[in-house]
Chains A and B, each alone.
Chain A
Amino acid sequence: MKKGVKKKDLGQIKGFSIQFIPYAEIRHLDSDERLKKILRIVLGNNILILQGKLKPEEETRLIGDTMVMIEHLKDFKGIELAVISGDENESIFDKMKKGIANILAGGDLGAITIIGPATIVKEIKRNPKKIELLLNK
């Protein structure tokens, strides 16, 4: 910390942590178990950074399950979700190479999925070159 900068000046965001999960942790789980694991982490006031990405149908199920939880859990307002994939502009050959590697590994390891509770993560601003996590104070 820079000299002269008081701790309180940095803002007071309390009560959450950031968890990183490598893809190996969810590779062998079925969709139900994956979503349960993800929601358990997010409902525990954590921001999850997941290596790889979910299947499209798992993403929609995650949204659907989130909606059910908003209805049933007090103070839960939903999630913020963003997936950053690898370079979209890479050549077909590179894509094929990556495709084979992903098949062997079981998921798109070049991607990163960020999921956080909406009470903590105000917005995930995304554009092709960067990603910004805006938090609620």
Chain B
Amino acid sequence: MAIKIIKNFFKRVFSSIFRNKKDIKLGFYGPPNAGKTSLANRICKDFTGEEIGSVSKVPHETRSVQFKEKVEIDYKGKKMVFKMIDTPGIATKIDYEEFLKYKLKKKVAKERAKEATQGVIESIKWLDDMDIVVIVLDATENPYNQVNITIIGNLVARKIPVLIVANKIDLRKADIKKIEAAFPEYEVVGISAKYGKNLEEFYESIFKLSKKI
């Protein structure tokens, strides 16, 4: 009996250590306002009941890297544990005056711009630490944006598996085909993070990519 208890204890300890190592670091990257946090929130809410961060119409709402540990995604009977990493949108320019259009006060807008520049630097630094990256693009915007190409180029160079998500497919202007044409070598999954549309296909693709790590 005592041996059985000791055995079970060690089994629990070792399995928890092993599970920690196996948590897959899932990063959400992309330009500002594409819906990275909305998608991460949707997943976290579904599987942990908690959100990862706040969302806003004002660009650069996420200005520092946000995490959610131990998110166990249960899809069609398969389970995988992820560490979700939501990153600030990457941009090549940040102008505080852009924020004034959203009726922010000048001082607040300037502070937001300053934090946003630091957020971009932080996002770039984190590229090295990802196991899988989801590139979240706004399907209503032109995908031929150098930031998207630069991020993907870096992930390819680091041999990190990439999934491209075309978000906001609930909007009439959304054009997934344009995104597929821009990135023909990658799988593109069209979703609506806001309404939780087509997330099954997204989970399917994530589980598939997880095997490539």
Contacts and interface: CB of A to CB of B under 8 A. Distances in A.
Contact of B95 (A55, A63, A78, A127): A78
Contact of A79 (B93, B113, B121, B151): B93
Contacts of B153: 56, 59
B90 A63 contact: yes
A60 interface: yes
Interface residues of B, number: 29
Interface string A44-62: 0000000000011101100
Contacts of B127: 60
Given A81-B92, A126-B144, A67 B117 contact: yes
A64 interface: yes
Contacts of A63: 90, 92, 120, 124, 147, 150
A128 B113 CA distance: 32
A127 B90 CA distance: 20
B94 interface: yes
Nearest to B93: A78
Nearest to A53: B153
A57 B156 CA distance: 11
B92 to A, nearest CB: 5
Contact of A60 (B95, B113, B124, B184): B124
A126 B147 CA distance: 12
Contacts of B120: 63-64, 67
B108 interface: no
Contact of B94 (A78, A88, A124, A126): A78
A43 to B, nearest CB: 14
Contact of A56 (B92, B156, B181, B184): B156
B154 A57 contact: yes
Interface residues of A, number: 26
Nearest to A56: B153
Nearest to B149: A83
B6 interface: no
Nearest to A85: B149
Given A63-B124, A68-B117, A78 B154 contact: no
B142 interface: yes
A56 B142 contact: no
B144 A60 contact: no
B210 interface: no
Given A57-B157, A77-B95, A78-B94, A70 B146 contact: no
A38 interface: no
18 contacts: A56-B150, A57-B157, A59-B153, A60-B151, A60-B154, A63-B92, A63-B120, A63-B150, A64-B121, A66-B92, A68-B121, A71-B114, A71-B118, A80-B93, A81-B146, A83-B146, A118-B92, A127-B144
Interface of B: 90-95, 113-114, 117-118, 120-121, 124, 127, 142, 144-147, 149-151, 153-154, 156-157, 181-182, 184
Given A56-B153, A63-B92, 18 more contacts: A55-B157, A56-B157, A63-B90, A63-B120, A67-B117, A70-B113, A77-B95, A78-B93, A80-B93, A83-B146, A83-B149, A118-B92, A118-B95, A125-B142, A126-B145, A126-B146, A128-B144, A128-B181
